Amino acid sequence: MNEFENFGLHEHVLRAVKDAGFKEPSPIQRDIIPVILSGRDVVGQAQTGTGKTAAFSLPALSMINTAQKGVQILVITPTRELATQISDEMYSFGRYRNIHTVTVYGGSSYSRQLKLIEQGANVVVATPGRLLDLLKSNKLYGFEPKIVILDEADEMLDMGFLDDIEAIFARIPKERQTMLLSATMPEPIKALAKRILNNPAFVSVTPQNATTNTDIEQQYYIIEEYERDDAIIRLLETLDPQKSIIFCRTKKEVDRLGTKLIASGFITKTLHGDMEQPQREEVIKSFRNGDIDTLVATDVAARGLNVKEITHVFNYHMPFDPESYVHRIGRTARAGQKGTAITLLTPIEYHSLQRIAKTVGTKLTQKQIPTLFEMKANNVKKLAQNILSANIDTTAAQIVNELEKELDLAQIAYKAISLLIGKADTKGPNSIGVDSKTFENYIKKERAKDDDKRRGGGRFRNKSRSSGKERGRNERSGESKKSFGGKKGR
Ligand code: AMP
């Protein structure tokens, strides 16, 4: 018997779970579903990719009273993409119960969204800004959701939505069951949870999710600042991802890299917050259905993006904080698949990556970008394999017959293969990245500088302009320490 059947979910919801092909509940589903069905408020610490949408949707949709009019479930989520995704998922889980779902977000018509809600929506999935506008306009007559889900609360905080969230909760009935989901639990979120939830159960699946998800192989490559483009291109050529996302820090960088990748022959599109909503949707659609295989994006635009076949996530630049690292890499290895997360960093950034790795409790492996020489050798191998496994085209036979009038067979083969080599040839500098020896030296120097600072050598040196030798002597005799210690209260 399917484990989902033991929860006491509505039979029509179970039918939709079967349609979705879910064989067994994910850890968060196992933990959260019974608590929600018992009617209790819940704080769930979980990231995208853990099955959290179904974890709150399945019980909530089971609890709806379809005989009753009006909106019964409200989901608040930070981005339009996420709202659409959740809405689609809730629609499919609720369709046998005839549950109507409406998505409410900025950038599309107010009146249409209002009309759809009035026509009998049971579920509203909304972004905070537009929802608050609607609530303030007093046009949402009788809006009394019984179940309210606040999704990706930490992201709301980062995007500056916390005031809007407070204002929304001040405008909806207190008689409700509330769920707060967040990948991380910074103080302001804990404080918010205290204000909007009533004696909540706490469920956390952090150890099993993206941060330590063994399905995501996490790697880093140490490069020089100017090598980022070459590194990405070489890695895309070597790894040949089925689908990949490349994260950049700014919209400008997204546009520039996107243009470069297209010029280099990759089937690429870009995604960032300056693009109009229909354009963004179009890009996500073409990524989802495989018309493009490389997406260059900013964090916000690709937030919560749920495309199953993403095999590789690239951090063109290091993310700013551990949260965005976790969110970014969580785009791969979804729904039980494997994935690789790759971060490009310069030696100076090494310590920041170590900090992130420590915070999220993850292990990253250092890798070297293949040289042009290795790539060419690999291309030769691949080409030989391809020739061995190729089917012979009738036109090829005709051409060989024609050529044999002037060349012998070996010459024909050499010339034909030369043409193919030209096509498969890799370009770019021979070696990309900082070699391990240079990097080790860099780290040693950094460590020495740190030790020096700790011992007070830094100041001493500035003052006395002593040579390395003298400095060593001074430190050993403890003089430098004294001179530092004399200036307390630094
Ligand atoms: P989420 O964490 O909600 O973004 O879900 C990540 C992906 O996992 C979605 O594509 C879901 O359809 C899928 N998923 C959720 N629950 C299960 C499950 N129990 N079995 C298999 N796939 C699931």
Q: Residue 275: give its domain's CATH number.
A: 3.40.50.300
Examine the domain organization and report whether 174 and 224 are in the same domain.
no
DSSP symbol at 223: -
Is the pLDDT score of 458 beyond 80?
A: no
Q: How many CB atoms lie within 10 A of CB 163?
A: 10
Question: Which of 182, 204, 226 lies at the terminal end of a domain, its last residue?
Answer: 204
| Confidence (pLDDT) at 429 | 85
97 CB within 6 A, ligand 1: no
Residue with tokens 């790795």: 357
Residue with tokens 């709301």: 156
Residue 469 lies in a domain: no
Residue 46 CA: nearest ligand 1 atom is 2
| Confidence (pLDDT) at 47 | 74
Examine the domain organization and report whether 147 and 230 are in the same domain.
no
| Confidence (pLDDT) at 322 | 80
Examine the domain organization and report whether 350 and 381 are in the same domain.
no
Cα–Cα distance measured from residue 285 to residue 307, given in angstroms and rounded to the nearest whole number: 10
Span 337-348, pLDDT tens digits: 789 999 999 998
- Residues 42-53 have a mean pLDDT of 85
Alpha carbon of 52 to ligand 1 centroid (Å): 7
Q: Which of 234-248, 263-277, 445-459 has the lowest mean pLDDT?
A: 445-459
Residue 432 lies in a domain: no
| Confidence (pLDDT) at 80 | 87
Residue 102 lies in a domain: yes
pLDDT tier for residue 487 given thresholds of 50, 70 and 90: very low
Q: Answer whether 164's CB lies under 8 Å from 129's CB.
A: yes
- Residues 370-387 have a mean pLDDT of 86
Examine the domain organization and report whether 143 and 261 are in the same domain.
no
Question: Which of 170, 204, 238 lies at the terminal end of a domain, its last residue?
Answer: 204
Query: pLDDT exceeding 90 applies to what percent of the chain?
Result: 51
Examine the domain organization and report whether 197 and 310 are in the same domain.
no
Backbone angle region of 489, left / alpha / beta, with phi > 0 → left and psi within -120 to 50 → alpha? left
Residue 430 lies in a domain: no
| Confidence (pLDDT) at 450 | 67
| Confidence (pLDDT) at 190 | 92
Which tokens in the block code for residue 92? 């499919």
- Residues 20-46 have a mean pLDDT of 92
The closest alpha carbon to 280, from 256, 250, 308, 303, belongs to 303
Query: What is the domain range of residue 137?
Result: 3-204
Span 139-159, pLDDT tens digits: 888 899 999 999 999 888 878
Helix/strand/coil for 323:
helix
Counted residue by residue, the chain has a size of: 490
Cα dist from 143 to 105, 127, 147, 171, 172, whole Å: 17, 16, 12, 9, 7
**Which residues partner with 245 through β-bridges?**
295, 313
| Confidence (pLDDT) at 287 | 93
Examine the domain organization and report whether 383 and 347 are in the same domain.
no
- Residues 195-223 have a mean pLDDT of 80
Alpha carbon of 479 to ligand 1 centroid (Å): 63
Which tokens in the block code for residue 444? 């040693």
Q: With helix as H, strand as E and coil as C, how does 254-299 read?
A: HHHHHHHHHHCCCCEEEECCCCCHHHHHHHHHHHHCCCCCEEEEEC
Hey, which of 5, 22, 151 would you mutate to test ligand 1's pocket, going by the most ligand atoms within 8 Å of its Cβ?
Answer: 22
Cα–Cα distance measured from residue 387 to residue 381, given in angstroms and rounded to the nearest whole number: 10
Examine the domain organization and report whether 117 and 248 are in the same domain.
no
The closest alpha carbon to 253, from 191, 315, 209, 192, belongs to 315
| Confidence (pLDDT) at 442 | 82
DSSP per-residue codes, 302-345: TTT---TT--EEEESS--SSHHHHHHHHTTSS-TT--EEEEEEE
Residue 176 lies in a domain: yes
- Residues 86-99 have a mean pLDDT of 96
Examine the domain organization and report whether 175 and 70 are in the same domain.
yes
Residue 20 CA: nearest ligand 1 atom is 12
Examine the domain organization and report whether 347 and 223 are in the same domain.
yes
- Residues 175-195 have a mean pLDDT of 92
Residue 26 lies in a domain: yes
Examine the domain organization and report whether 259 and 176 are in the same domain.
no
DSSP symbol at 78: S
Span 429-438, pLDDT tens digits: 888 988 878 8
Alpha carbon of 376 to ligand 1 centroid (Å): 40
Is the pLDDT score of 273 beyond 50?
A: yes
Helices (H), 361-490: 372-389, 394-403, 409-424, 436-455, 457-464, 468-476, 479-485
State the total domains in the chain. 3
Alpha carbon of 226 to ligand 1 centroid (Å): 39
Is the pLDDT score of 476 beyond 70?
A: no
Examine the domain organization and report whether 235 and 301 are in the same domain.
yes
Alpha carbon of 205 to ligand 1 centroid (Å): 14
Burial level of 176, CB count in 10 A (0-12/13-18/19+)? middle
> Would you tell me the crossing angle of helices 436-455 and 468-476 to the nearest 10 degrees?
50
Cα–Cα distance measured from residue 121 to residue 139, given in angstroms and rounded to the nearest whole number: 15
Which tokens in the block code for residue 154? 């930490």
Question: What is the pTM for the complete model shown?
Answer: 0.54
Residue 210 lies in a domain: no
pLDDT tier for residue 453 given thresholds of 50, 70 and 90: low
Alpha carbon of 243 to ligand 1 centroid (Å): 19
Query: pLDDT exceeding 70 applies to what percent of the chain?
Result: 88
Cα–Cα distance measured from residue 25 to residue 2, given in angstroms and rounded to the nearest whole number: 9
Handedness of CA 424, 428, 429, 431 (dihedral sign): negative
Question: Which of 366, 391, 410 lies at the terminal end of a domain, its last residue?
Answer: 366
Hey, which of 26, 77, 93 would you mutate to test ligand 1's pocket, going by the most ligand atoms within 8 Å of its Cβ?
Answer: 26
370 CB within 6 A, ligand 1: no
Examine the domain organization and report whether 380 and 302 are in the same domain.
no
Is the pLDDT score of 299 beyond 70?
A: yes
Question: Could you tell me which residues come within 8 angstroms of residue 304 by beta carbon, excluding any fewer than 6 positions away?
Answer: 48, 77, 78, 79, 81, 82, 85, 152
pLDDT tier for residue 391 given thresholds of 50, 70 and 90: confident
The closest alpha carbon to 267, from 244, 292, 246, 287, belongs to 292
Hey, which of 24, 82, 152, 306 would you mutate to test ligand 1's pocket, going by the most ligand atoms within 8 Å of its Cβ?
Answer: 306
Q: How many CB atoms lie within 10 A of CB 201?
A: 17
Residue 440 lies in a domain: no
Cα–Cα distance measured from residue 145 to residue 177, given in angstroms and rounded to the nearest whole number: 9
Alpha carbon of 245 to ligand 1 centroid (Å): 19
Residue with tokens 């629609």: 91
Alpha carbon of 116 to ligand 1 centroid (Å): 28
| Confidence (pLDDT) at 127 | 95
Is the pLDDT score of 474 beyond 60?
A: no
131 CB within 6 A, ligand 1: no
**Better-predicted residue by pLDDT, 332 or 269:** 269
315 CB within 6 A, ligand 1: no
Q: What's the chain's Rg over C-alpha atoms? A: 28
Helix/strand/coil for 356:
helix
Q: Answer whether 337's CB lies under 8 Å from 187's CB.
A: no
Please provide the average confidence, as pLDDT, over all residues in the chain. 85
Which of 168-177, 292-301, 320-329, 472-481 reaches the highest mean pLDDT?
A: 168-177
Is the pLDDT score of 301 beyond 50?
A: yes
327 CB within 6 A, ligand 1: no
